[in-house]
Amino acid sequence: MNILLKPFTTNFNTAPFQSIKNEDYKPSILKLIEEAKQDIDVIVTNTDAPTFENTIEALEFAGQQLDRVTSIFFNLNSAETNDEIQKIAQDISPILTEFGNDITLNQALFTKVKAVFDSKDSLDLTTEQNTLLDKKYKSFSRNGANLSEDKKLKLRAIDKQLASIKLKFGENLLAETNAFEMLLTKEDEVSGLPEGAKEAAKQLAESKDKDGWLITLDYPSYIPFMTYADRRDLREKLAKASGAKGFKKDVLDNQSNVLDIAKLRFERANLLGYQTHSHFVLEERMAETPEKVNTFLQELLVKAKPAAEREFAELEAFAKELDNIDQLQKWDSAYYSEKLKQKLFNLDDEQLKPYFKLENVIDGAFQVANKLFGLQFKKIDTIDKYHEDVMTFEVLDENNDLVSIFYADFFPRAGKRNGAWMTSYKPQFIKDGINERPHISNVCNFTKPTKSKPSLLTFNEVTTLFHEFGHGLHGMLANTTYPSLSGTSVFWDFVELPSQVLENWCYEKEALELFAKHYETGEIIPMDLVEKIKESATFQEGMQTLRQLSFGLLDMSWHGINPSDITDVKMHEYKTFEDTNLYPDVKENCMSTAFAHIFQGGYSSGYYSYKWAEVLDADAFDYFKEEGIFNKDVAKKFKDNVLSQGGTENPMVLYKRFRGQEPKPEALLKRAGLIK
């Protein structure tokens, strides 16, 4: 019997990775779609008057096993994919999209949902039930339920196309990343590289039966090379290769995919009665409208640009003085910034890395979670993993009750996309009196241990680990009734608050002393280094802010307008970047063709949310600092009003309940050193 068709009988009901064969996915998903359709039929054919229970709740829990299996499948397509899985994804994505449309465009079902929605004032619902009802109604109205039949057919066609093109965009990107290799055979070609990076590059070359040092576009290989390699020509080669992903007019070119996605999203929004895709998306965000987002980005730009230009002039003067560089290029950015940082603060990542052994940092994140929320992390080997690198943990509360299962997957490999993310293999919800606990995963790409050294993280990687762990805690501590409102199922511009706020602990002496210990001597990180970390936290913050704003503006430029007249991806991008550009443009490079966040992931019209959430996180952390960074009362307020509540209420209501006030942007601008 196909193991995917029934609820799992594994320990903790975890995904039975080892027993699933690739060929099981498609037939299982097709069968589970049929079963989910039967669940819907039961709702539609029920002759009783529509109620919250027999319509809204029944719809919420329809097709549960299908949701479970598809989440496993698509998580693996990101973290451990191969040609076979990618082919299945191309096959089943349009089918799943069609099924989603079968639900939202089912007139008889919508009539029942609308009947409950129209009578909601007389129903005496809880806050969470009200939110669910509102969300279910909007899932129909915002996805075509009120359209005429011919327009519904058009919507289905657009959604099918979009699902397929987005997958293709991501596959091209992964193939481009995997295809590039720069083999270096002379010592001077790796001059400047730290020993650890050289050893990793040598080991990578050996694993492919090559002599020398192998550099790739995977971040643990790319970032150290761009930051430390003395050979400017090789930095240029690597930067141009990275910047040209999806932009080579070959079979992996993403330009037409970018144009098609933007135009189809616009067409879809128009069909549903919205001015642009951004108008459609932002209706369900804290920011509410594209005008508000653009105003927010422009206001930050006005504050950040003078600082960014000062910092850039300083960097340029430094590179000129050091190496007689007349014109700074993009491939000089990380290299000279690192050298300038070392000069100004007498601090570099290589000094810090010995104190950030991966296992210690993981333990540090666990200890911070313990001090704040009373969580305990117990390593277990009694559940399946999808790859041997994955670590698995049982998460318990102070009473030793199960809070969550946690998967930690931290090293790059060919089947794994770049970057870092949190995801879930099973959501939290309450059904039949049982509080089903979630299965949460953090996925990152850190340097693997070498023959002579453990995995040592840069400080940036430390904050990345804490960031994703913050998302993880949002998932783990979820405590809602309905899965679609649980954990990180919140407004997109609120979802980054738990992740970004947790990064703050990486800069605090009290937290660093828990885990920043030298991997050889066990010595706790010296306090002068901690001070330097804090001092350097605002180093080039203007330039960093400008960079983030440029991504947000690019996102809005694709989605907040009518893109029908855009024919040249590069030219459109070039114009958008005019206000934020510090470096000369590289004609062979294009960002949009590799901007997976907005063209493959869920960030379209949402990239601004990183900055938006920074305002929230700076304000929230101010509260912790006022009362003590491990203050149990503030932590409890944060857990009870933010982390456990998921999307059960409007985020601003939740935030004010935690903080007692609306967030003030001054906290962010002060922290960034942009105002005194």
CB neighbours of 100 closer than 8 A, spacing ≥ 6? 159
* C-alpha–C-alpha distance, residues 27 and 39, integer Å: 19
**Torsion sign, CA atoms 10, 15, 20, 26:** positive
pLDDT means per 10 residues, the chain with 676 residues, are 90 97 96 98 98 98 97 97 95 94 94 97 97 96 92 95 95 95 98 94 96 95 97 98 98 98 98 97 94 94 94 98 97 97 90 96 98 98 97 98 98 92 98 97 94 93 97 98 97 93 96 97 93 90 96 98 97 98 97 96 92 92 96 98 97 96 85 80
In three-state secondary structure terms, 431 is strand
* C-alpha–C-alpha distance, residues 27 and 71, integer Å: 16
Catalytic residue among 60, 80, 267, 468: 468
CB neighbours of 418 closer than 8 A, spacing ≥ 6? 177, 217, 218, 219, 412, 445
Give me the DSSP letters along 433-490. Answer: TEEEPPEEEEE--PPPP-SS---B--HHHHHHHHHHHHHHHHHHT---S-GGGSTT-S
Crossing angle for the helix pair 358-373 and 459-476, nearest 10 degrees?
Answer: 40
For residues 482 and 60, is the Cβ–Cβ distance under 8 A?
yes
What domains can be seen in the chain, in order of their start residue?
3-146 (1.20.1050.40), 180-243 (no CATH), 354-537 (1.10.1370.40)
pLDDT digits (tens, 9 = 90+) for 528-575: 998 898 889 899 999 999 999 999 999 999 999 999 999 999 999 999
* C-alpha–C-alpha distance, residues 355 and 516, integer Å: 5
The region that residue 288 occupies, defined by phi over 0 for left and psi between -120 and 50 for alpha, beta otherwise, is: left
Tokens at residue 62, please?
A: 């329809």
Give the per-residue pLDDT at 1: 65
**CB-based contacts of 49-55 (< 8 A; 24+ apart in sequence):** 49/115, 50/112, 50/113, 50/115, 50/116, 51/116, 52/116, 52/123, 52/125, 52/129, 52/133, 55/112, 55/113, 55/115, 55/116
pLDDT digits (tens, 9 = 90+) for 581-613: 999 999 999 999 999 999 998 899 999 999 999
* C-alpha–C-alpha distance, residues 495 and 475, integer Å: 11
Give the per-residue pLDDT at 108: 97
* C-alpha–C-alpha distance, residues 7 and 519, integer Å: 43
* C-alpha–C-alpha distance, residues 515 and 72, integer Å: 32
Active site residue 128: no
Give me the DSSP letters along 210-256. Answer: -SSEEEESSHHHHHHHHHH---HHHHHHHHHHHHTTT-SSSTT--HH
For residues 393 and 379, is the Cβ–Cβ distance under 8 A?
yes
Q: Which of 536, 519, 497, 545 is nearest to 641 (CA)?
A: 497
Give the per-residue pLDDT at 664: 82
Crossing angle for the helix pair 459-476 and 496-503, nearest 10 degrees?
Answer: 140
* C-alpha–C-alpha distance, residues 545 and 472, integer Å: 25
pTM of the model: 0.87
Give the per-residue pLDDT at 594: 97
Give the per-residue pLDDT at 601: 84
